[in-house]
Amino acid sequence: MTWNNLPTELHLAVARFLPPQDTRALSHTSRTSYNLLLPQIFSDVTLSSRTALQSFAIHVPLSYGAYIRRLSVCTKPAESALVHEVDCTEHLATILATCSSLRSLSLSLAASLDTFKITPVFATLTTVQKFEISCWGQEETAPVSERVAVSLAASLSSLTHLTLSRITRSALHVNNCFPLGVPLVLNDHDVPSHPILGEELCLPSLLKLPTLKSLELRDVWIDCDENMCLQGKLAQLDRLSLYGSMYRVGEVENKACLAWLRACGPALRSFKTGIPLGEFQPSTCLGKDWMAAENESIIPPLPTFTNFHVDAERVALDDLLPMLNVLSACEIKRITIANATMCAAQDAFTRECASDEFEEWQDAVEQFLASNQWDSLKSVELNFGEGTQRIWSL
């Protein structure tokens, strides 16, 4: 029996085990194979540049968009491009308008998008559950405004997992009390009002999205959220990840991180951070009036949650015990401390450094366990890569 005589079910079963390049090669063997494998070939699409985005929008049949389940787009220009800020909204909107079964969308933007054109298209993406948006270029010269990012996220009616990387805050949501050198977007006042959030297109408003379960902010300046206080019904957020920013002002960022944590509510189960936490008195320096607490003397309690993850790349060893003291009332059951870079490293020098750091962190964990009064704690895991791992079961 030849390949062509096999039933369709066997063709598809074999194709599921093939890597992408072999699947494409197999599809070129006959028209029948090509038609059969189209859904698999186009289920996961990566467009790694502005040129690739334009080429896909122009040359790929619109009907193929129905096969796309995961779409990753980067709008970086070609190396020889003289003008970097080119609006790619039209081509992106053309593709997204055909993606009737899209589940996951990732955008890495070299320049912002025209929200008047792109937001209505996002509203049609009713199957998207995971959305990532980031700034590919420099925040100072080609930022992606928080108002744009929030508007797009709020337009995805089934969104459950959201990641924002290097998103720049809007001057409309920050007053004049902020450190010099922090980039802000000044020209995003024309982002249209959103049907759900109205004019409040700032990052804390993401907590109002009813379907959102997981929120991750990477390299995003959050100091201006120090006094955030959201009114109305909030999302039942299950996971929150805050990694901090290079523009951080230590004490203010710590207070802002705690404000985010308090705003998440009782459904939170997992919290991951690269920000060293400390308890401070509330300040009134940053934040718009609509974000300020009605009574600054009343501070909401921290939520209880099961899992606490510490990013050991961003948190110094000396900050570990103060962090745990701040979270002592959160009824945490599992603590994980990991350094992702050292976990992935293979060279001897980095592995030696990992071993040295591991010993120091291990001593700090044992010091904490010897004196802690956490009845809820069940385990602590320390992971700096192969040969530098340990789990304490309590």
CA–CA separation, 222 and 44 (whole Å): 33
pLDDT of residue 374: 86
Q: What is the dihedral of CA 228, 259, 239, 122, to 10 degrees?
A: 20
Cβ–Cβ under 8 Å, residues 87 and 110? no
Domain boundaries, the chain: 1-41, 43-305, 313-394
Strands 334-338 and 379-383: parallel
| Nearest to 23, CA basis, from 36, 37, 2 | 37
Which tokens sit at 11?
Answer: 């063709």
pLDDT digits 0-9 by tens, 121-168: 999 999 999 999 999 988 888 899 999 999 999 999 999 999 999 999
| Nearest to 390, CA basis, from 324, 350, 314, 337 | 337
In which residue are the tokens 């718009």 written? 288
Span 93-112, mean pLDDT?
Answer: 95
- The DSSP code for 80 is T
Has residue 336 got a pLDDT over 90?
A: yes
pLDDT of residue 177: 63
The lowest-confidence range among 23-27, 184-188, 383-387 is: 23-27
The 161-165 sheet, strands edge to edge:
44-47, 70-74, 104-109, 130-135, 161-165, 214-218, 239-242, 270-273, 307-311, 334-338, 379-383, 389-393
First to last CA, the chain: 60
CATH class of 43-305: alpha beta
Span 101-117, mean pLDDT?
Answer: 93
pLDDT digits 0-9 by tens, 227-268: 887 776 777 899 999 998 888 777 888 989 999 998 888 889
pLDDT of residue 4: 63
Span 74-84, mean pLDDT?
Answer: 69
Which tokens sit at 290?
Answer: 């609509």
Span 205-233, mean pLDDT?
Answer: 89
Please, which pLDDT band fits residue 29 given cuts at 50, 70 and 90? low
CA angle in degrees (0–180, nearest 5) for 385-388-394: 110
CA–CA separation, 378 and 394 (whole Å): 5
Cβ–Cβ under 8 Å, residues 393 and 378? yes
